[in-house]
Amino acid sequence: MSEEKHRISIWFFIGSILLIYGALIFGQGLYHLFRPPERVLVLSEYHPDIWWGMLLLILGGFYCYKFSPRRT
């Protein structure tokens, strides 16, 4: 009865959180792209929320793939 305990890496959970935050920020950026806010913010023409959301999605996807419990 050698039952092996399998631990899930903390980086997998961090990747999951980055994916969730990235999806929320990216979605909010797309919403503001089609419905601009009433108050215009500084440098809003560059749409930093879209870029930041994409970066978080890519980084979170990498961490989830690299440290996935199914890969080990």
Domain residue limits, the chain: 10-71
In this predicted structure, what is the pLDDT of residue 22? 98
Rounded Cα–Cα distance for residues 15 and 69 (Å): 12
4-55 pLDDT, tens digit per residue, is 777 889 999 999 999 999 999 999 999 999 999 899 888 889 999 999 999 9
Report whether pLDDT(60) > 60: yes
Length of the chain (residues): 72
- Residue 41: the pLDDT is 86
C-alpha dist (Å) from residue 54 to 3, 25, 43: 41, 9, 18
Q: What is the pLDDT of residue 12?
A: 95
Residue 71: pLDDT band by 50, 70, 90 thresholds? confident
